[in-house]
């Protein structure tokens, strides 16, 4: 890679760059998962890493998520910093026993004698016309579990900075990669090893009239809606939550207290989604500043449909615009 | 494309039987050349080649059933393109108009528009009583508006009349005037200018415009912009005169450009056009910006003297009262003469009293002339 001109990278390339950076720096960082080695990952996230770091550090596993998670917990407690890939988030359920019963509570259970510095990466979310169990957004399952940090990047730059932080974090991080935007845009990224904090939201647009809160792939539609609102003279503040557990409520509350109105957007089902928690905390702590009821634009409380009906399920920029307009017009 | 798959043949048909291959492995084929005939439940369909290439493999023999989406042929020598996924399609789209290269880690710093705090019940009460929460003085903790605050405001509203929030031109006037008052060190000079010798047909406004042009040439520093922060004065090359125009919507100051070099008739026409544009609210913003000096002709309504406000960055404004007759002493005798009372305000930060007085003197000398 040339030192003079910085590369424009997609999000999946930024994920690859962050892992390669950390593997060069720290020999305890290892990768395991299905097709991550020779094949380079079905989305190419681990492309070229086996060639550079060898099969002792980039390990192809059998198609067995329980095994992947179990081995990862073992590696992490014994001094390695494993990055496990679950090929699609829909396959993660077989791994949950290890994630929830062991990874999440290792530090607490051993009274701090053991910790579990692992990252579990999984492409997630809909919008690529894949079968239904490849397309769900089940981040709330993990956000609800104490002891896990749940992080969702929404741009190449943030993917790079957040994944570096996740690998360096001393406790387990569920790193969910919105695959719909894996290659949708490029950003110039300097491979400088600078991590982004895992405990704050990112304010993508400053505004005064309404706060739009989202994360992951939905940031794209949210920014489109914000641009549309700007055309009619309405300035929307756009917050990328990024780390959905634990939540940075300070940033969210500070914005909502300023604007008095907010819409929460997520692709996951509405019922008990992370939006419900954000909404509840705003109601608890910023009720007096609210000028309109909080609105949520979410997926439906159904099984993710087969791909012909996928577009009906996914919130669109227009849905967000409509919700924002209703919120703004509320008297 | 390495594999060509049986396309959707329409009408919801999901399968077809291969009737006849028109190519063999190893043969070359061009785009749109007939490749295979298949029979669906409805008809025989001729399937053309999607591209130029050499056929490597045919999938299926004549009589076999092929489903939509299954491969029909493999072209030779082509690598399967890496779609970057095993299922579905990962969209690539570059040059999107949505950019978020720059973002703030955490909250933005602008907290100035924090909304009024009150319970939903109080918000509803204010709405029912038609009270704007932004106009209410709050008495609760940390600026909380209470039900009593709303009721108090409603009572004031009933007894004293409603509040009118300033908007548009009036709002910007309020802002500009407050800023000018906070910034400018203003001094005013007043005098009566004897125009008794004016011959018939003098246009008072145009005489004022001409006198200002003459005075600006005598003391160029009065036609200037001053920046108080950097303490820098910019004497202006042309004389662009802002003329205050009163309208029901508020105060407008259209700018008559380059009064030093244009004939009077041309200026009169320009001013009439500006005034008409202001009254019909059709004036472009470009005609309302960057005056170098200003004239307030309040005398067309009533009044002798005033202390008109110098609005930064300009440093001078002239106010003209109504023409009237006064009893005055002329060369030792008492006479009745026609005069115009003139007020001149200037910003004493960059401009000396002497400069202002010499400007005023040149102005008066020109205004006094018979024509």
The CATH fold of domain B3-75? OB fold (Dihydrolipoamide Acetyltransferase, E2P) (2.40.50)
Cα angle for residues A161, A163, A165 (degrees, 5° grid): 70
Question: What pLDDT, on the 0 to 100 scale, is given for residue A1?
Answer: 45
**Res. B112 pLDDT band, cuts 50 70 90:** low
Q: How far apart are CA A122 and CA A179, in angstroms?
A: 9
Q: Identify the bridge partners of residue A245 per DSSP, sorted by sequence position.
A: A150
Region A34-44: mean pLDDT is 95
Q: What is the CA radius of gyration of chain A?
A: 20
**Res. B246 pLDDT band, cuts 50 70 90:** confident
Region B45-54: mean pLDDT is 86
Chain B residues within an 8 Å CB radius of A258? 110-111, 113-115
Q: Identify the bridge partners of residue A177 per DSSP, sorted by sequence position.
A: A123
**Res. A31 pLDDT band, cuts 50 70 90:** very high
* Contact between B107 and A307 using a beta-carbon 8 Å cutoff: no
**Res. B12 pLDDT band, cuts 50 70 90:** low
Cα atoms found within 13 Å of the Cα of residue B223, Cβ hemisphere only: 24
Using the CB atoms, write b or e for A29-56: b if 16+ within 10 Å: bbbbbbbbbeebbbbbbbbebbeebeee
CATH of domain A202-329: 3.40.50.920
**Domain ranges, ordered by start, for chain B:** 3-75, 120-160, 170-368
Answer yes or no: A134 catalytic.
yes
Q: Assess whether pLDDT exceeds 80 at residue A159.
A: yes
How close A78 gets to chain B, by Cα (Å)?
Answer: 33
Question: What pLDDT, on the 0 to 100 scale, is given for residue A264?
Answer: 98
Q: Which of B89, B98, B111 sits opposite A224 (nearest CB)?
A: B98
Least confident of B70-74, B94-98, B225-229: B94-98
Q: Which CATH architecture has domain A8-188?
A: 3-Layer(aba) Sandwich (3.40)
Q: Which of B97, B107, B127 sits opposite A250 (nearest CB)?
A: B107
> Residue A157: exposed, middle, or buried by beta-carbon count in 10 A (0-12, 13-18, 19+)?
buried
Question: What pLDDT, on the 0 to 100 scale, is given for residue B205?
Answer: 92
How close A77 gets to chain B, by Cα (Å)?
Answer: 31
Per-residue pLDDT reduced to its tens digit, B120-143: 889 889 888 888 888 888 888 878
**Res. A110 pLDDT band, cuts 50 70 90:** very high
Name the catalytic one among A21, A98, A134, A266. Answer: A134
Q: Assess whether pLDDT exceeds 70 at residue A68.
A: yes
Chain B residue whose CA is closest to A241: B106
How close A116 gets to chain B, by Cα (Å)?
Answer: 27
φ, ψ for residue A129, nearest 5 deg: 60, 40
CATH of domain B170-368: 3.30.559.10
Interface test with A, best of B84, B123, B129 (most A CBs within 10 A): B84
* Residue B103 touches partner A, C-beta closer than 8 Å: yes
Q: Which of A129, A205, A227 sits opposite B88 (nearest CB)?
A: A129
Chain A residue whose CA is closest to B142: A288
**Res. B252 pLDDT band, cuts 50 70 90:** confident
Considering chain A, tell me which residue range(s) the CATH 3.40.50.970 domain(s) occupy.
Answer: 8-188
Q: Assess whether pLDDT exceeds 60 at residue B302.
A: yes
Q: How far apart are CA A151 and CA B11, in angstroms?
A: 45
Q: Assess whether pLDDT exceeds 60 at residue A4.
A: no
Region A185-206: mean pLDDT is 94
Q: How far is CA A299 from CA A228, A243, A264, A314, B54, in A?
A: 22, 20, 12, 6, 46
User: Of how many residues is chain A composed?
Assistant: 331
Question: What pLDDT, on the 0 to 100 scale, is given for residue B79?
Answer: 66
Least confident of A5-19, A154-168, B31-45, B208-222: B31-45
Helix/strand/coil percentages in chain A, nearest 5: 40, 20, 40
* Residue B134 touches partner A, C-beta closer than 8 Å: no
Please tell us whether the domain made up of B120-160 is placed in CATH 4.10.320.10. Answer: yes
Region B286-297: mean pLDDT is 91
Considering chain A, tell me which residue range(s) the CATH 3.40.50.920 domain(s) occupy.
Answer: 202-329
Question: What pLDDT, on the 0 to 100 scale, is given for residue B251?
Answer: 83
Does residue B141 or residue A32 have the better pLDDT? A32
* Contact between A227 and B117 using a beta-carbon 8 Å cutoff: no
* Residue A180 touches partner B, C-beta closer than 8 Å: yes
Does residue B165 or residue A105 have the better pLDDT? A105
Least confident of A14-28, A194-208, B3-17, B231-245: B3-17
**With contact defined as beta carbons under 8 Å apart, do B199 and B338 qualify?**
no
Q: Assess whether pLDDT exceeds 60 at residue A122.
A: yes
* Residue A231 touches partner B, C-beta closer than 8 Å: no
Question: What pLDDT, on the 0 to 100 scale, is given for residue A2?
Answer: 44
């Amino acid at each position: 890679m040339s030192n003079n001109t910085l590369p424009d990278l997609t999000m999946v390339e930024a994920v690859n760059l962050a892992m390669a950076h950390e593997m060069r720096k720290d020999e305890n960082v290892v990768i395991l998962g299905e097709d991550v080695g020779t094949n380079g990952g079905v989305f190419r996230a681990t492309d070229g890493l086996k060639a550079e770091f060898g099969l002792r550090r980039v390990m192809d596993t059998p198609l067995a998520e329980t095994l992947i998670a179990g081995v990862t917990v073992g590696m992490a407690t014994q001094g390695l910093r494993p990055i496990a890939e679950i090929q699609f988030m829909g396959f993660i359920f077989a791994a949950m026993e290890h994630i929830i019963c062991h990874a999440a509570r290792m530090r607490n259970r051993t009274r701090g004698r053991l910790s579990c510095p692992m990252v579990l990466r999984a492409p997630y979310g809909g919008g690529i016309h894949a079968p239904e169990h490849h397309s769900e957004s089940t981040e709330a399952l993990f956000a609800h579990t104490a002891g896990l940090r749940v992080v969702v990047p929404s741009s190449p730059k943030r993917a790079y900075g957040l994944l570096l932080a996740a690998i360096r974090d001393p406790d387990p991080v569920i790193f969910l990669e919105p695959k719909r935007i894996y290659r949708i845009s490029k950003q110039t990224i300097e491979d400088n090893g600078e991590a982004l904090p895992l405990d704050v939201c990112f304010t993508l647009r400053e505004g005064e009239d309404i706060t739009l809160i989202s994360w992951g792939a939905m940031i794209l539609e949210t920014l489109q809606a914000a641009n549309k609102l700007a055309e009619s003279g309405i300035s929307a503040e756009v917050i990328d939550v990024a780390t959905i557990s634990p939540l940075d409520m300070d940033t969210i509350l500070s914005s909502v207290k300023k604007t008095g109105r907010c819409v929460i957007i997520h692709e996951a089902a509405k019922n008990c989604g992370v939006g419900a928690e954000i909404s509840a905390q705003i109601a608890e702590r910023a009720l007096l500043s609210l000028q309109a009821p909080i609105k949520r634009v979410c997926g439906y409380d159904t099984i993710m449909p087969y791909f012909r009906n996928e577009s009906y399920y996914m919130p669109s920029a227009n849905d967000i615009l409509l919700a924002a307009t209703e919120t703004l017009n509320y008297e | 494309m390495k594999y060509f798959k049986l396309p959707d043949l329409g009408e919801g048909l999901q399968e077809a039987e291969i009737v006849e291959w028109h190519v063999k492995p190893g043969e070359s084929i061009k785009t749109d050349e007939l490749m295979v005939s298949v029979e669906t439940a409805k008809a025989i369909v001729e399937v053309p080649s999607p591209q130029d290439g050499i056929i490597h493999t045919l999938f299926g023999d004549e009589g076999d059933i092929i489903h939509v989406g299954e491969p029909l042929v493999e072209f030779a020598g082509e690598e399967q393109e890496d779609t970057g996924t095993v299922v579905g399609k990962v969209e690539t789209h570059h040059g999107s108009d949505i950019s978020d290269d720059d973002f703030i880690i955490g909250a933005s710093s602008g907290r100035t528009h924090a909304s009024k705090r009150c319970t939903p019940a109080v918000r509803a009460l204010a709405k029912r009583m038609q009270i704007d929460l932004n106009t209410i003085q709050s008495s609760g903790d940390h600026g909380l508006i209470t039900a009593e605050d709303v009721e108090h405001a409603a009572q004031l509203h009933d007894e004293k009349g409603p509040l009118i929030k300033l908007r548009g031109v009036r709002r910007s006037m309020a802002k500009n005037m407050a800023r000018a008052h906070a910034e400018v060190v203003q001094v005013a000079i007043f005098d009566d200018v004897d125009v008794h010798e004016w011959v018939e047909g003098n246009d008072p406004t145009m005489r004022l415009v001409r006198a200002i042009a003459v005075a600006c040439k005598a003391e160029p520093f009065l036609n200037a912009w001053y920046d108080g922060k950097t303490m820098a004065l910019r004497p202006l090359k042309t004389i662009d005169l802002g003329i205050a125009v009163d309208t029901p919507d508020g105060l407008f100051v259209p700018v008559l450009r380059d009064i030093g070099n244009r004939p009077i008739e041309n200026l009169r026409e320009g001013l009439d056009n500006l005034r008409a544009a202001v009254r019909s609210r059709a004036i472009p913003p470009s005609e309302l910006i960057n005056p170098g000096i200003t004239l307030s002709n309040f005398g067309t309504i009533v009044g002798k003297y005033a202390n008109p406000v110098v609005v930064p960055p300009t440093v001078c404004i002239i106010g003209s009262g109504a023409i009237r007759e006064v009893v005055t002493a002329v060369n030792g005798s008492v006479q009745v003469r026609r005069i115009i009372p003139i007020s001149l305000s200037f910003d004493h930060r960059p401009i000396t009293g002497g400069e202002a007085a010499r400007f005023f003197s040149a102005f008066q000398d020109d205004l006094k002339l018979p024509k």
